[in-house]
Amino acid sequence: AARDQGLTSPKSVIAVYPVGQTTTNTESYLKYADAKPLNRPMMLWFVANVTKSSADLKDPRLDLVHANLHGLPPVTLINAEIDPLRDDGAQLELALRNQGVSVERKLYDGVTHEFFGTAAVVVKAQEAQAYAGARLKAAF
Q: What is the pLDDT of residues 95-132, one digit of tens each?
A: 999 999 999 999 999 999 999 999 999 999 999 999 99
Question: Any idea what the CATH number is for the domain that residue 124 is in?
Answer: 3.40.50.1820
User: Average of pLDDT values for 40-50?
Assistant: 95
Domains: count for the chain: 1
Residue 115, domain member (yes or no): yes
Question: In which band, very low, low, confident or very high, does the pLDDT at 8 lie, cut at 50, 70 and 90?
Answer: very high
Within a domain: residue 77? yes
| Residue 3 within a domain | no
- Residue-number span of the structural domain to which 52 is assigned: 13-139
pLDDT at 62: 94
Residue 73 has a pLDDT of 96
Measured CA to CA, the distance from residue 60 to residue 68 in angstroms comes to: 8
Q: How far apart are CA 21 and CA 47, in angstroms?
A: 10
Please state the separation of Cα 134 from the chain's center in Å: 18
Instruction: Tell me which DSSP letter residue 101 carries.
Output: -
Residue 1 lies in a domain: no
β-partners of residue 139 are none
* pLDDT, tens only, 49-102: 999 999 999 999 999 999 999 999 999 999 999 999 999 999 999 999 999 999
Would you say 96 and 75 are in contact if contact means Cβ atoms under 8 Å apart?
yes
| Nearest residue to 92 via CA among 34, 26, 137, 3 | 26
d(CA 61, CA 20): 9
101 in a domain, yes or no? yes
Once rounded to an integer, what is the mean pLDDT over residues 7-22?
96
